[in-house]
């Protein structure tokens, strides 16, 4: 049964919500449990369809993996496979994050090539090049990636031509139990990388420079399961900030890490919002009329995150003035533009550049999400729009947003899941 949201926009929000745990931190840490002995407890693990797929993959591989009251319990002592079937890879291309850990633990890994997705081709050349440098023999044919490291993996210097988040994570997961030292230069610096390394260090890994551009990993003999609390989801926080901004609201976000929002907060301040952060809590107050943010460029962390581009574009659509949004990370991440225009937005796209001319009002319409963060942007716009909107394709949203209709409903939004 395909679900959809009915949203009656134009209502102010108020109150406080707890920001969920980070999807993009949970997934690599769930993959990292493959490397540990004993039972891991991951607190603040969000209940999402992507996390559910990762747990299903772990169970398929022979591990014990379940969620109890918001914590994931994972024990990989029973691992008895090293292949991830096509249907898992098709369902979540991010399953590639299991590659490095599987190869390290089993000396072998068999995954189908993670196809492209709604954002365009999602190459993994940086992942494979680094693993080869660490001694893996990798053949790619008939859509299958077959990896072997019969003599185990050996630490190596790896220079990333692009600070790829997934490649950085896969290299770290391959390096923590490898023989010798691995140095990653031009590593991704996202907070989720830092959280993965915090988890691995607690488990006994030797990692220096996590969150910096250069990360050094000295391989150790073994890792022990730990209890770890997943960091809050900075993209969900940015989405809630956008929802409050477009509805002229004052809301409170609990459980945020201000340092993770370093490039996000200034965008909302430039739009005229008032933001106060203290002890992991944010007070967010929108102005009567939003000012257009003149230029937003998505960049690797600590730059403005590509995952927040769609929600902030929705905010720009109802701001006073014109905004230029440049999407530098993915080549096809403007799919939400057409749907925003159905609500009355005035947006023109030329390649990687979108010019958003703010309008006074958006009007409810029937709209369709085509990718996760685009869905989030459409919800923000529907909350601003006068009248009723019907949003289809919310299965995309449920990959990354935990019970988002209930979260927004608790802030006073008129939103119903059918
Ligand atoms: C992670 O994807 C996130 N996913 C994405 O979030 C996020 O948008 C992205 O990082 C950028 O921050 C998870 O963490 C599960 P990349 P990832 O490797 O690792 C190119 C969401 O909405 N590239 O940093 O796939 C690639 O084509 C998702 O939660 C290569 O060319 O991102 C892209 O243009 C969407 N070769 C750029 O790098 C490679 O081998 C960024 O990709 C790898 C990547």
Predicted confidence band at 116 (pLDDT cuts at 50, 70, 90)? low
Which residue is listed with tokens 């915090």? 198
**Which range (20-29, 58-67, 141-150, 339-348) has the least confidence?**
141-150
CA 27 to ligand 1: nearest atom? 15
* Domain 23-229: which CATH number of 3.65.10.10, 3.40.190.10, 2.40.128.690, 3.40.640.10: 3.65.10.10
Domain boundaries, the chain: 4-20+232-417, 23-229
Using DSSP's 3-state secondary structure scheme, residue 314 falls into helix
Residue of 162, 169, 260, 374 best suited for mutating to test ligand 1, as the one with most atoms within 8 Å of CB: 162
218 forms bridges with which residues in the sheet?
181, 206
Structure confidence by residue, pLDDT tens digits, 179-206: 999 999 999 999 999 999 999 999 999 9
Residues 6 or more apart whose Cβ sits within 8 Å of residue 279: none
Task: Quote the ligand 1 centre to 278 CA distance (angstroms).
Answer: 31
406 has a pLDDT exceeding 80: yes
Q: Find the helix packing angle between 165-175 and 99-106, rounded to 10°.
A: 10
Predicted confidence band at 114 (pLDDT cuts at 50, 70, 90)? confident
- What is the set of active-site residues? 117
Overall pTM > 0.95:
yes
What gap in Å lies between CA 391 and CA 7, rounded to an integer?
A: 8
- Ligand 1-lining residues (CB < 6 angstroms): 23-24, 27, 94, 122-127, 162, 164-167, 188, 306-307, 329-330, 372-373, 400
Residue of 23, 24, 27, 188 best suited for mutating to test ligand 1, as the one with most atoms within 8 Å of CB: 24
Q: Strands 39-43 and 71-75: what pairing?
A: antiparallel
Task: Quote the ligand 1 centre to 115 CA distance (angstroms).
Answer: 13
287 has a pLDDT exceeding 90: yes
Tell me what percent of the residues of the chain surpass a pLDDT of 90.
93
151 has a pLDDT exceeding 70: yes
In this prediction, residue 115 carries a pLDDT of 67
Structure confidence by residue, pLDDT tens digits, 152-176: 999 999 999 999 999 999 999 999 9
Output the 3-class SS for 39-71. EEEEECCCCCHHHHHHHHHHHHCCCEEEEECCE
Query: How distant, in Å, are the alpha carbons of 36, 43, 50, 155 from that of 59?
Result: 15, 19, 14, 29
Query: Homologous superfamily of 4-20+232-417 in CATH?
Result: Enolpyruvate transferase domain (3.65.10.10)
16 has a pLDDT exceeding 80: yes
Structure confidence by residue, pLDDT tens digits, 346-393: 999 999 999 999 999 999 999 999 999 999 999 999 999 999 999 999
1 has a pLDDT exceeding 90: no
179 forms bridges with which residues in the sheet?
154
CA 50 to ligand 1: nearest atom? 15
CA 235 to ligand 1: nearest atom? 29
In this prediction, residue 339 carries a pLDDT of 98
Q: How is residue 45 written in tokens?
A: 């693990």
Task: Quote the ligand 1 centre to 125 CA distance (angstroms).
Answer: 12
Say whether 23-229 and 4-20+232-417 share the same fold: yes
Residue of 97, 160, 164 best suited for mutating to test ligand 1, as the one with most atoms within 8 Å of CB: 164
Q: Strands 181-185 and 206-208: what pairing?
A: unpaired
Predicted confidence band at 2 (pLDDT cuts at 50, 70, 90)? confident
In this prediction, residue 323 carries a pLDDT of 98
What gap in Å lies between CA 407 and CA 17, rounded to an integer?
A: 7
CA 300 to ligand 1: nearest atom? 12
The protein residue with its alpha carbon nearest to ligand 1, atom 10, reads 165
Residue spans of beta strands (DSSP E) within 51-180: 64-68, 71-75, 83-84, 108-112, 137-141, 144-148, 157-159
CA 372 to ligand 1: nearest atom? 22
In this prediction, residue 316 carries a pLDDT of 98
Structure confidence by residue, pLDDT tens digits, 294-309: 999 999 999 999 999 9
Task: Quote the ligand 1 centre to 191 CA distance (angstroms).
Answer: 14
């Amino acid at each position: 049964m395909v679900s959809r949201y009915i949203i009656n926009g134009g209502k102010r929000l108020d109150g406080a919500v707890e920001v969920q745990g980070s999807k993009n931190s949970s997934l690599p840490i769930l993959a990292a449990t493959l490397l540990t002995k004993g039972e891991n407890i991951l607190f603040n693990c969000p209940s999402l369809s992507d996390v559910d797929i990762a747990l299903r993959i772990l169970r398929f591989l022979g591990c014990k993996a379940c969620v109890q009251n918001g914590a994931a319990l994972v024990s990989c002592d029973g691992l008895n496979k090293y292949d991830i079937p096509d249907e898992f890879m098709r369902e979540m291309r991010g399953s590639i994050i299991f590659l490095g850990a599987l190869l390290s633990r089993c000396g072998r890994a068999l995954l189908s090539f993670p196809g492209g997705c709604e954002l365009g081709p999602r190459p993994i050349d940086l992942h494979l090049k680094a693993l080869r440098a660490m001694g893996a023999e990798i053949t790619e044919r008939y859509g299958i990636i077959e990896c072997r490291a019969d003599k185990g993996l050996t630490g190596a210097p790896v220079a990333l031509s692009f600070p790829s988040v997934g490649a950085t994570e896969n290299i770290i997961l391959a390096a923590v139990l490898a023989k010798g030292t691995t140095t990653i230069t031009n590593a991704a610096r996202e907070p989720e990388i830092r959280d993965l390394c915090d988890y691995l260090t607690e488990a006994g890994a030797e990692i220096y420079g996590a969150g910096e551009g250069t990360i050094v990993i000295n391989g150790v003999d073994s890792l022990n399961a730990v209890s770890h609390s997943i960091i809050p989801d900075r993209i969900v926080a940015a989405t809630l900030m956008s929802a409050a901004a477009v509805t002229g609201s004052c809301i409170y976000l609990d459980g945020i890490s201000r340092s993770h929002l370093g490039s996000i907060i200034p965008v909302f301040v430039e739009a005229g919002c008032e933001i106060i952060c203290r002890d992991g809590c944010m007070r967010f107050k929108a102005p009567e009329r939003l000012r257009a943010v003149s230029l937003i460029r998505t960049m690797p962390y600590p730059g403005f995150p590509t995952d927040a581009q769609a929600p902030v574009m929705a905010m720009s659509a109802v701001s006073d003035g014109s905004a230029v949004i440049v999407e530098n990370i993915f080549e096809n991440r403007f799919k939400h533009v057409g749907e925003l225009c159905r609500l009355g937005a005035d947006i023109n796209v030329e390649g990687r550049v979108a010019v958003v001319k703010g309008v006074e009002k958006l009007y409810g319409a029937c709209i369709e999400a085509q990718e996760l963060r685009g869905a989030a942007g459409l919800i923000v716009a529907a909350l601003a729009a006068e009248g009723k909107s019907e949003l289809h394709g919310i299965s995309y949203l449920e990959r990354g947003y935990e019970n988002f209709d209930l979260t927004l409903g608790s802030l006073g939004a008129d939103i119903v899941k059918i």
